Structure 1
Amino acid sequence: MSDLVLENIDLYYHRVHALRDLSLTVREGEIVSLLGNNGAGKTSTLSMISGLVRAKTGRARWGDHDLLRMQPWDAVGAGLLHIPEGRRIFSTMTVHENLLLGGYLVKDQKVIARRAEEAYELMPRLAERRGQQGGTLSGGEQQMLALGRALVGGPKLLLLDEPSMGLAPLIAKQVMEIVQRVNAQGTTVLLVEQNARAALKIAHRGYVLESGRVTMQGSAAELAADPRVIEAYLGA
Protein backbone atom coordinates (compact mmCIF):
# COMPACT_ATOMS: atom_id res chain seq x y z
CA MET A 1 0.00 0.00 0.00
CA SER A 2 1.30 3.46 -0.92
CA ASP A 3 0.12 5.27 2.19
CA LEU A 4 1.60 8.65 3.08
CA VAL A 5 2.79 8.70 6.70
CA LEU A 6 4.27 11.71 8.48
CA GLU A 7 5.63 11.18 11.99
CA ASN A 8 6.80 13.84 14.43
CA ILE A 9 7.78 16.35 11.77
CA ASP A 10 9.47 19.57 12.85
CA LEU A 11 10.13 22.20 10.20
CA TYR A 12 11.80 25.59 10.58
CA TYR A 13 12.13 28.63 8.35
CA HIS A 14 15.23 30.11 9.96
CA ARG A 15 13.96 30.78 13.50
CA VAL A 16 10.26 30.30 12.70
CA HIS A 17 8.97 26.92 13.90
CA ALA A 18 6.47 26.20 11.10
CA LEU A 19 5.56 22.56 11.83
CA ARG A 20 5.60 21.19 15.37
CA ASP A 21 5.69 17.44 16.00
CA LEU A 22 3.30 16.96 13.08
CA SER A 23 1.95 13.46 12.44
CA LEU A 24 -0.70 12.47 9.92
CA THR A 25 -1.61 9.67 7.53
CA VAL A 26 -3.17 9.66 4.07
CA ARG A 27 -4.21 6.17 3.04
CA GLU A 28 -3.99 5.09 -0.57
CA GLY A 29 -7.17 6.05 -2.43
CA GLU A 30 -8.33 8.70 0.06
CA ILE A 31 -9.01 12.41 -0.19
CA VAL A 32 -7.71 13.96 3.03
CA SER A 33 -8.21 17.65 3.73
CA LEU A 34 -5.99 19.94 5.79
CA LEU A 35 -7.93 22.75 7.43
CA GLY A 36 -6.61 25.76 9.26
CA ASN A 37 -6.22 29.51 9.18
CA ASN A 38 -3.47 31.35 7.30
CA GLY A 39 -0.12 30.53 8.85
CA ALA A 40 -1.31 27.24 10.35
CA GLY A 41 1.29 25.22 8.42
CA LYS A 42 -0.84 23.75 5.63
CA THR A 43 1.30 24.92 2.69
CA SER A 44 4.46 24.07 4.63
CA THR A 45 3.18 20.52 5.01
CA LEU A 46 2.68 20.13 1.26
CA SER A 47 6.05 21.73 0.50
CA MET A 48 7.81 19.39 2.90
CA ILE A 49 6.14 16.32 1.38
CA SER A 50 7.14 17.30 -2.17
CA GLY A 51 10.72 18.10 -1.12
CA LEU A 52 10.63 21.86 -1.65
CA VAL A 53 11.61 22.38 1.99
CA ARG A 54 13.30 19.98 4.40
CA ALA A 55 12.11 18.93 7.83
CA LYS A 56 14.62 19.20 10.66
CA THR A 57 13.36 16.10 12.48
CA GLY A 58 10.80 13.35 12.00
CA ARG A 59 9.94 10.77 9.36
CA ALA A 60 8.00 11.10 6.10
CA ARG A 61 7.28 8.02 4.02
CA TRP A 62 5.11 7.40 0.99
CA GLY A 63 4.96 3.69 0.37
CA ASP A 64 8.59 2.59 0.03
CA HIS A 65 9.85 6.15 -0.52
CA ASP A 66 11.67 8.10 2.18
CA LEU A 67 10.47 11.60 1.33
CA LEU A 68 13.09 13.27 3.50
CA ARG A 69 15.80 11.84 1.23
CA MET A 70 14.05 12.33 -2.11
CA GLN A 71 14.71 15.18 -4.50
CA PRO A 72 11.56 16.93 -5.83
CA TRP A 73 12.15 15.68 -9.38
CA ASP A 74 12.49 12.11 -8.15
CA ALA A 75 9.19 12.49 -6.29
CA VAL A 76 7.53 13.69 -9.51
CA GLY A 77 8.98 10.73 -11.38
CA ALA A 78 7.52 8.40 -8.74
CA GLY A 79 4.05 9.93 -9.18
CA LEU A 80 3.93 12.54 -6.40
CA LEU A 81 2.58 15.73 -8.02
CA HIS A 82 2.18 19.08 -6.25
CA ILE A 83 -0.11 21.82 -7.61
CA PRO A 84 0.86 24.93 -5.63
CA GLU A 85 -1.34 27.86 -4.76
CA GLY A 86 -1.60 30.26 -7.69
CA ARG A 87 -1.63 27.55 -10.42
CA ARG A 88 1.78 28.53 -11.87
CA ILE A 89 0.88 27.82 -15.48
CA PHE A 90 3.03 29.13 -18.34
CA SER A 91 1.05 32.15 -19.51
CA THR A 92 2.63 32.58 -22.96
CA MET A 93 2.32 28.90 -23.88
CA THR A 94 -0.85 27.35 -25.24
CA VAL A 95 -3.16 25.15 -23.24
CA HIS A 96 -1.89 22.10 -25.13
CA GLU A 97 1.76 23.04 -24.63
CA ASN A 98 1.14 23.45 -20.89
CA LEU A 99 -0.44 20.02 -20.74
CA LEU A 100 2.43 18.36 -22.59
CA LEU A 101 4.93 19.89 -20.14
CA GLY A 102 3.28 17.86 -17.41
CA GLY A 103 4.79 14.77 -19.00
CA TYR A 104 8.39 15.99 -19.16
CA LEU A 105 9.58 12.95 -17.18
CA VAL A 106 7.45 10.52 -19.19
CA LYS A 107 9.54 8.90 -21.93
CA ASP A 108 6.68 7.46 -24.03
CA GLN A 109 5.18 10.20 -26.21
CA LYS A 110 2.10 8.05 -26.85
CA VAL A 111 1.43 7.93 -23.12
CA ILE A 112 1.74 11.72 -22.90
CA ALA A 113 -0.65 12.20 -25.82
CA ARG A 114 -3.17 9.74 -24.34
CA ARG A 115 -3.09 11.42 -20.93
CA ALA A 116 -3.56 14.85 -22.53
CA GLU A 117 -6.64 13.58 -24.35
CA GLU A 118 -7.95 12.10 -21.10
CA ALA A 119 -7.51 15.52 -19.47
CA TYR A 120 -9.51 17.09 -22.29
CA GLU A 121 -12.26 14.49 -21.79
CA LEU A 122 -12.33 15.23 -18.07
CA MET A 123 -12.35 19.01 -18.65
CA PRO A 124 -13.98 19.77 -22.04
CA ARG A 125 -13.50 23.49 -21.50
CA LEU A 126 -9.75 22.98 -21.93
CA ALA A 127 -10.34 21.13 -25.20
CA GLU A 128 -12.24 24.16 -26.51
CA ARG A 129 -9.21 26.33 -25.70
CA ARG A 130 -6.49 23.92 -26.78
CA GLY A 131 -4.63 26.51 -28.89
CA GLN A 132 -5.24 29.49 -26.61
CA GLN A 133 -2.48 31.02 -24.50
CA GLY A 134 -2.68 30.02 -20.85
CA GLY A 135 -2.52 33.61 -19.65
CA THR A 136 -5.75 34.48 -21.46
CA LEU A 137 -7.81 31.87 -19.58
CA SER A 138 -10.12 32.69 -16.70
CA GLY A 139 -9.04 31.80 -13.17
CA GLY A 140 -11.15 28.66 -13.17
CA GLU A 141 -9.81 27.57 -16.53
CA GLN A 142 -6.24 28.13 -15.33
CA GLN A 143 -6.94 25.93 -12.31
CA MET A 144 -8.30 23.24 -14.62
CA LEU A 145 -5.17 23.59 -16.74
CA ALA A 146 -2.96 23.15 -13.67
CA LEU A 147 -4.91 20.01 -12.80
CA GLY A 148 -4.69 18.72 -16.36
CA ARG A 149 -0.94 19.34 -16.50
CA ALA A 150 -0.49 17.30 -13.31
CA LEU A 151 -2.65 14.50 -14.70
CA VAL A 152 -0.39 14.19 -17.74
CA GLY A 153 2.40 13.43 -15.28
CA GLY A 154 0.49 10.34 -14.09
CA PRO A 155 -0.07 11.21 -10.42
CA LYS A 156 -0.47 8.52 -7.80
CA LEU A 157 -0.48 11.09 -4.97
CA LEU A 158 -1.72 14.62 -5.73
CA LEU A 159 -1.00 17.55 -3.40
CA LEU A 160 -3.44 20.40 -4.01
CA ASP A 161 -2.98 23.85 -2.45
CA GLU A 162 -6.07 26.11 -2.47
CA PRO A 163 -7.57 24.99 -5.80
CA SER A 164 -10.72 27.10 -5.39
CA MET A 165 -9.04 30.32 -4.22
CA GLY A 166 -10.36 33.39 -6.03
CA LEU A 167 -12.91 31.45 -8.07
CA ALA A 168 -16.61 32.17 -8.40
CA PRO A 169 -18.70 29.70 -6.34
CA LEU A 170 -20.02 27.80 -9.37
CA ILE A 171 -16.55 27.43 -10.91
CA ALA A 172 -15.07 26.43 -7.54
CA LYS A 173 -17.74 23.73 -7.26
CA GLN A 174 -16.81 22.42 -10.71
CA VAL A 175 -13.11 22.30 -9.80
CA MET A 176 -13.85 20.36 -6.61
CA GLU A 177 -16.01 17.92 -8.57
CA ILE A 178 -13.08 17.36 -10.95
CA VAL A 179 -10.82 16.62 -7.96
CA GLN A 180 -13.38 14.10 -6.76
CA ARG A 181 -13.46 12.42 -10.18
CA VAL A 182 -9.66 12.28 -10.32
CA ASN A 183 -9.70 10.54 -6.94
CA ALA A 184 -12.38 8.10 -8.14
CA GLN A 185 -10.02 7.12 -10.96
CA GLY A 186 -7.43 6.00 -8.40
CA THR A 187 -5.37 9.05 -7.40
CA THR A 188 -4.80 9.74 -3.70
CA VAL A 189 -5.34 13.41 -2.81
CA LEU A 190 -4.07 15.61 0.02
CA LEU A 191 -6.07 18.82 -0.20
CA VAL A 192 -5.40 22.21 1.36
CA GLU A 193 -8.48 24.38 0.98
CA GLN A 194 -9.70 27.54 2.72
CA ASN A 195 -13.28 26.68 1.80
CA ALA A 196 -13.66 24.13 4.57
CA ARG A 197 -17.26 23.33 3.66
CA ALA A 198 -16.30 22.43 0.08
CA ALA A 199 -13.24 20.48 1.23
CA LEU A 200 -15.13 18.38 3.76
CA LYS A 201 -17.86 17.68 1.21
CA ILE A 202 -15.46 15.70 -0.99
CA ALA A 203 -12.91 14.48 1.59
CA HIS A 204 -12.94 11.14 3.38
CA ARG A 205 -11.03 12.43 6.38
CA GLY A 206 -9.45 15.63 7.60
CA TYR A 207 -6.98 17.25 9.97
CA VAL A 208 -7.12 20.69 11.55
CA LEU A 209 -3.79 22.49 11.94
CA GLU A 210 -3.12 25.36 14.32
CA SER A 211 0.35 26.91 14.64
CA GLY A 212 1.93 23.92 12.92
CA ARG A 213 0.25 21.30 15.13
CA VAL A 214 -2.60 18.87 14.52
CA THR A 215 -5.35 19.89 16.93
CA MET A 216 -8.25 17.86 15.54
CA GLN A 217 -8.71 14.92 13.20
CA GLY A 218 -11.47 12.61 12.11
CA SER A 219 -13.76 11.65 9.28
CA ALA A 220 -15.06 14.48 7.14
CA ALA A 221 -18.52 13.97 8.63
CA GLU A 222 -17.17 14.09 12.19
CA LEU A 223 -15.26 17.31 11.55
CA ALA A 224 -18.19 18.94 9.74
CA ALA A 225 -20.37 18.24 12.79
CA ASP A 226 -17.80 19.34 15.40
CA PRO A 227 -18.91 22.62 17.06
CA ARG A 228 -15.32 23.88 17.12
CA VAL A 229 -14.93 23.37 13.37
CA ILE A 230 -18.33 24.90 12.70
CA GLU A 231 -17.48 28.00 14.73
CA ALA A 232 -13.98 28.45 13.34
CA TYR A 233 -14.32 27.41 9.70
CA LEU A 234 -17.89 26.70 8.62
CA GLY A 235 -19.98 29.47 10.13
CA ALA A 236 -23.48 29.02 11.50
Structure 2
Amino acid sequence: MRTVLDIKGLEVTYGKVEALRGVDLSVGDREIVALLGNNGAGKSTTVSAISGVVRSRAGTIAAYGEDITAATPWSIVERGIVHVPEGRRIFSRLTVHENLQIGGYTVREGTSVDKRITQVYELFPRLAERRHQQGGTLSGGEQQMLAIGRAMVAGPRLIMLDEPSMGLAPLVVAQVMDAIASINESGTAVLLIEQNARAALKVAHRGYVIDSGRVTLTGPAAELRTDPQVVEAYLGA
Protein backbone atom coordinates (compact mmCIF):
# COMPACT_ATOMS: atom_id res chain seq x y z
CA MET A 1 0.00 0.00 0.00
CA ARG A 2 1.34 3.41 -0.97
CA THR A 3 1.91 5.76 1.97
CA VAL A 4 0.02 9.04 1.77
CA LEU A 5 1.24 10.48 5.06
CA ASP A 6 4.26 9.47 7.14
CA ILE A 7 5.14 11.15 10.46
CA LYS A 8 8.30 10.32 12.37
CA GLY A 9 9.30 11.52 15.84
CA LEU A 10 7.02 14.56 15.83
CA GLU A 11 7.51 16.94 18.75
CA VAL A 12 5.52 20.13 19.39
CA THR A 13 5.77 22.47 22.36
CA TYR A 14 3.65 25.39 23.53
CA GLY A 15 6.06 27.41 25.62
CA LYS A 16 7.34 24.93 28.18
CA VAL A 17 4.48 22.49 27.64
CA GLU A 18 5.30 19.40 25.56
CA ALA A 19 2.16 18.80 23.49
CA LEU A 20 3.63 16.03 21.31
CA ARG A 21 6.51 13.81 22.34
CA GLY A 22 7.86 11.68 19.51
CA VAL A 23 4.69 10.82 17.61
CA ASP A 24 4.95 8.28 14.77
CA LEU A 25 1.91 7.89 12.51
CA SER A 26 1.13 6.90 8.94
CA VAL A 27 -1.86 6.85 6.58
CA GLY A 28 -1.94 4.60 3.54
CA ASP A 29 -3.61 5.24 0.20
CA ARG A 30 -7.41 4.70 0.37
CA GLU A 31 -7.20 4.11 4.12
CA ILE A 32 -9.20 5.51 7.04
CA VAL A 33 -6.98 5.94 10.09
CA ALA A 34 -8.47 6.99 13.44
CA LEU A 35 -6.50 8.99 15.99
CA LEU A 36 -8.16 8.52 19.37
CA GLY A 37 -7.63 10.20 22.70
CA ASN A 38 -9.16 12.34 25.41
CA ASN A 39 -9.17 16.13 25.57
CA GLY A 40 -5.64 17.49 25.74
CA ALA A 41 -4.05 14.24 24.56
CA GLY A 42 -2.48 15.86 21.47
CA LYS A 43 -4.92 14.92 18.71
CA SER A 44 -5.66 18.42 17.42
CA THR A 45 -2.02 19.45 17.77
CA THR A 46 -1.04 16.52 15.56
CA VAL A 47 -3.39 17.48 12.74
CA SER A 48 -2.52 21.18 13.11
CA ALA A 49 1.17 20.31 12.70
CA ILE A 50 0.41 18.26 9.59
CA SER A 51 -1.55 21.15 8.04
CA GLY A 52 1.21 23.65 8.83
CA VAL A 53 -0.81 25.70 11.30
CA VAL A 54 1.48 24.67 14.19
CA ARG A 55 5.24 24.29 13.79
CA SER A 56 7.07 21.26 15.14
CA ARG A 57 10.21 21.38 17.28
CA ALA A 58 11.50 18.07 15.95
CA GLY A 59 10.51 15.21 13.68
CA THR A 60 9.44 14.97 10.05
CA ILE A 61 6.15 15.01 8.15
CA ALA A 62 6.12 13.55 4.65
CA ALA A 63 3.31 13.43 2.09
CA TYR A 64 3.71 11.00 -0.80
CA GLY A 65 7.41 10.79 0.05
CA GLU A 66 7.94 14.57 0.00
CA ASP A 67 9.03 16.37 3.17
CA ILE A 68 6.37 18.96 4.07
CA THR A 69 7.53 19.64 7.64
CA ALA A 70 8.24 23.32 6.91
CA ALA A 71 5.65 23.83 4.15
CA THR A 72 3.09 26.64 4.36
CA PRO A 73 -0.57 25.80 5.06
CA TRP A 74 -1.70 26.90 1.58
CA SER A 75 0.96 24.86 -0.19
CA ILE A 76 -0.10 21.81 1.82
CA VAL A 77 -3.68 22.30 0.59
CA GLU A 78 -2.33 22.58 -2.97
CA ARG A 79 -0.63 19.20 -2.42
CA GLY A 80 -4.06 17.68 -1.76
CA ILE A 81 -4.08 17.61 2.06
CA VAL A 82 -7.13 19.35 3.52
CA HIS A 83 -7.93 19.94 7.20
CA VAL A 84 -11.51 20.23 8.48
CA PRO A 85 -10.99 21.87 11.89
CA GLU A 86 -12.85 21.21 15.09
CA GLY A 87 -15.92 23.43 15.39
CA ARG A 88 -16.72 23.39 11.63
CA ARG A 89 -15.83 27.09 11.09
CA ILE A 90 -18.11 27.66 8.15
CA PHE A 91 -18.90 31.16 6.91
CA SER A 92 -22.18 31.76 8.71
CA ARG A 93 -23.33 34.73 6.61
CA LEU A 94 -22.64 33.06 3.27
CA THR A 95 -25.05 30.61 1.69
CA VAL A 96 -24.40 26.89 1.57
CA HIS A 97 -23.48 27.17 -2.11
CA GLU A 98 -21.13 30.09 -1.51
CA ASN A 99 -19.38 28.15 1.27
CA LEU A 100 -18.84 25.26 -1.13
CA GLN A 101 -17.51 27.58 -3.84
CA ILE A 102 -14.90 28.92 -1.41
CA GLY A 103 -13.69 25.34 -0.94
CA GLY A 104 -12.44 25.45 -4.53
CA TYR A 105 -10.25 28.53 -4.17
CA THR A 106 -7.08 26.54 -5.01
CA VAL A 107 -8.72 24.80 -7.98
CA ARG A 108 -7.84 26.46 -11.29
CA GLU A 109 -10.63 24.98 -13.41
CA GLY A 110 -14.11 26.27 -12.64
CA THR A 111 -15.69 23.23 -14.27
CA SER A 112 -13.94 20.99 -11.72
CA VAL A 113 -15.36 23.08 -8.87
CA ASP A 114 -18.88 22.87 -10.28
CA LYS A 115 -18.57 19.11 -10.75
CA ARG A 116 -17.33 18.60 -7.19
CA ILE A 117 -20.10 20.76 -5.74
CA THR A 118 -22.60 18.57 -7.58
CA GLN A 119 -20.94 15.51 -6.04
CA VAL A 120 -21.19 17.09 -2.57
CA TYR A 121 -24.92 17.65 -3.10
CA GLU A 122 -25.26 13.99 -4.09
CA LEU A 123 -23.38 12.93 -0.95
CA PHE A 124 -25.36 15.31 1.27
CA PRO A 125 -28.84 15.80 -0.26
CA ARG A 126 -29.80 17.96 2.73
CA LEU A 127 -27.26 20.56 1.62
CA ALA A 128 -28.76 20.59 -1.86
CA GLU A 129 -32.15 21.37 -0.33
CA ARG A 130 -30.61 24.26 1.62
CA ARG A 131 -28.17 25.57 -0.97
CA HIS A 132 -29.57 29.12 -0.76
CA GLN A 133 -29.71 29.26 3.06
CA GLN A 134 -27.07 31.05 5.09
CA GLY A 135 -24.66 28.65 6.75
CA GLY A 136 -25.45 30.04 10.19
CA THR A 137 -29.08 28.93 9.91
CA LEU A 138 -28.17 25.25 9.54
CA SER A 139 -28.32 22.69 12.32
CA GLY A 140 -25.08 21.43 13.87
CA GLY A 141 -25.16 18.27 11.78
CA GLU A 142 -25.82 20.20 8.58
CA GLN A 143 -22.94 22.57 9.36
CA GLN A 144 -20.64 19.59 9.81
CA MET A 145 -21.78 18.21 6.46
CA LEU A 146 -21.07 21.62 4.93
CA ALA A 147 -17.59 21.78 6.45
CA ILE A 148 -16.78 18.33 5.05
CA GLY A 149 -18.34 19.17 1.70
CA ARG A 150 -16.36 22.42 1.43
CA ALA A 151 -13.15 20.46 1.98
CA MET A 152 -14.11 17.92 -0.69
CA VAL A 153 -14.49 20.67 -3.30
CA ALA A 154 -10.71 21.17 -3.07
CA GLY A 155 -10.27 17.64 -4.43
CA PRO A 156 -8.18 16.28 -1.54
CA ARG A 157 -6.14 13.12 -1.69
CA LEU A 158 -6.13 13.14 2.12
CA ILE A 159 -8.83 14.75 4.25
CA MET A 160 -8.18 15.28 7.96
CA LEU A 161 -11.33 15.55 10.08
CA ASP A 162 -10.95 16.97 13.60
CA GLU A 163 -13.78 15.82 15.90
CA PRO A 164 -16.53 15.64 13.24
CA SER A 165 -18.97 14.00 15.68
CA MET A 166 -18.61 16.62 18.43
CA GLY A 167 -21.95 17.89 19.72
CA LEU A 168 -24.04 15.81 17.32
CA ALA A 169 -26.95 13.50 18.10
CA PRO A 170 -26.21 9.76 17.69
CA LEU A 171 -28.33 9.48 14.53
CA VAL A 172 -26.49 12.40 12.92
CA VAL A 173 -23.12 10.96 14.00
CA ALA A 174 -24.02 7.77 12.14
CA GLN A 175 -24.91 9.78 9.03
CA VAL A 176 -21.63 11.68 9.15
CA MET A 177 -19.63 8.47 9.60
CA ASP A 178 -21.45 6.88 6.66
CA ALA A 179 -20.49 9.90 4.56
CA ILE A 180 -16.85 9.55 5.64
CA ALA A 181 -16.90 5.91 4.55
CA SER A 182 -18.37 6.94 1.17
CA ILE A 183 -15.68 9.59 0.71
CA ASN A 184 -13.03 6.98 1.40
CA GLU A 185 -14.61 4.50 -1.01
CA SER A 186 -14.36 7.15 -3.74
CA GLY A 187 -10.57 7.09 -3.31
CA THR A 188 -9.77 9.72 -0.65
CA ALA A 189 -7.62 8.77 2.34
CA VAL A 190 -8.95 9.92 5.73
CA LEU A 191 -7.29 10.81 9.02
CA LEU A 192 -10.13 10.85 11.55
CA ILE A 193 -9.45 12.65 14.84
CA GLU A 194 -12.04 11.55 17.40
CA GLN A 195 -12.95 11.21 21.05
CA ASN A 196 -15.90 9.06 19.98
CA ALA A 197 -13.87 5.86 19.65
CA ARG A 198 -16.92 3.67 19.14
CA ALA A 199 -18.03 5.60 16.04
CA ALA A 200 -14.53 6.05 14.67
CA LEU A 201 -13.48 2.41 14.97
CA LYS A 202 -16.59 1.29 13.09
CA VAL A 203 -15.40 3.02 9.90
CA ALA A 204 -11.60 3.06 10.34
CA HIS A 205 -9.20 0.46 8.99
CA ARG A 206 -6.49 1.20 11.57
CA GLY A 207 -6.20 3.31 14.67
CA TYR A 208 -3.79 5.05 17.01
CA VAL A 209 -4.40 5.95 20.65
CA ILE A 210 -2.60 9.05 21.87
CA ASP A 211 -2.20 10.03 25.52
CA SER A 212 -0.22 12.96 26.96
CA GLY A 213 1.43 13.60 23.60
CA ARG A 214 2.57 10.01 23.00
CA VAL A 215 1.14 7.20 20.89
CA THR A 216 0.40 4.46 23.41
CA LEU A 217 -1.38 1.93 21.22
CA THR A 218 -1.82 1.19 17.52
CA GLY A 219 -3.32 -1.58 15.43
CA PRO A 220 -6.17 -2.65 13.14
CA ALA A 221 -9.49 -1.10 14.12
CA ALA A 222 -11.07 -4.50 14.70
CA GLU A 223 -8.38 -5.34 17.27
CA LEU A 224 -8.61 -1.98 19.01
CA ARG A 225 -12.37 -2.42 19.45
CA THR A 226 -11.67 -5.42 21.67
CA ASP A 227 -8.44 -4.27 23.30
CA PRO A 228 -8.96 -4.14 27.10
CA GLN A 229 -7.26 -0.74 27.42
CA VAL A 230 -9.42 0.81 24.70
CA VAL A 231 -12.60 -0.81 26.02
CA GLU A 232 -11.96 0.46 29.55
CA ALA A 233 -10.87 3.98 28.56
CA TYR A 234 -13.14 4.75 25.61
CA LEU A 235 -15.83 2.15 24.99
CA GLY A 236 -17.14 1.29 28.45
CA ALA A 237 -17.41 -2.15 29.92
TM-score range with shorter-chain normalisation?
over 0.9
Structural RMSD (CA): 0.7
> How many residues are matched?
236
Structure 2 counterpart of 1:68? 69
Runs (5+) with no aligned partner, structure 1: none
TM score, norm. by length of structure 2: 0.98
Structure 1 counterpart of 2:6? 5
Structure 2 counterpart of 1:150? 151
Inter-partner Cα distance in structure 2 for 1:59 and 1:68: 6
- Identity of aligned pairs, percent? 59
Inter-partner Cα distance in structure 2 for 1:85 and 1:151: 16
Deviation digits for residues 25-62 of structure 1 (CA, Å, limit 9, x no counterpart): 11111100011111110000000000001111111101
TM score, norm. by length of structure 1: 0.98
Inter-partner Cα distance in structure 2 for 1:64 and 1:217: 22
Structure 2 counterpart of 1:127? 128
Compute the displacement of 1:208 (Å).
Answer: 0.5
Structure 1 stretches of 4+ with a deviation exceeding 2 A read none
Inter-partner Cα distance in structure 1 for 2:23 and 2:116: 35
Alignment-mate amino acid for residue 150 of structure 1: A
- Contact 1:50 1:67 (8 Å CA) reproduced: no
Inter-partner Cα distance in structure 2 for 1:64 and 1:210: 27
Structure 2 counterpart of 1:28? 29
Alignment-mate amino acid for residue 111 of structure 1: S
Inter-partner Cα distance in structure 2 for 1:162 and 1:216: 19
For residues 1-236 of structure 1, what are the structure 2 equivalents within 5 Å? 1-236=2-237
Q: What SS does the corresponding residue of 1:175 show, helix, strand or coil?
A: helix
Alignment-mate amino acid for residue 12 of structure 2: L
Q: What SS does the corresponding residue of 1:89 show, helix, strand or coil?
A: coil
Compute the displacement of 1:193 (Å).
Answer: 1.0
Inter-partner Cα distance in structure 2 for 1:69 and 1:59: 9
Runs (5+) with no aligned partner, structure 2: none
Alignment-mate amino acid for residue 211 of structure 1: S
Deviation digits for residues 57-95 of structure 1 (CA, Å, limit 9, x no counterpart): 111101133121211000111110000000000000000
Inter-partner Cα distance in structure 1 for 2:22 and 2:166: 28
Compute the displacement of 1:2 (Å).
Answer: 4.4
Alignment-mate amino acid for residue 12 of structure 1: T
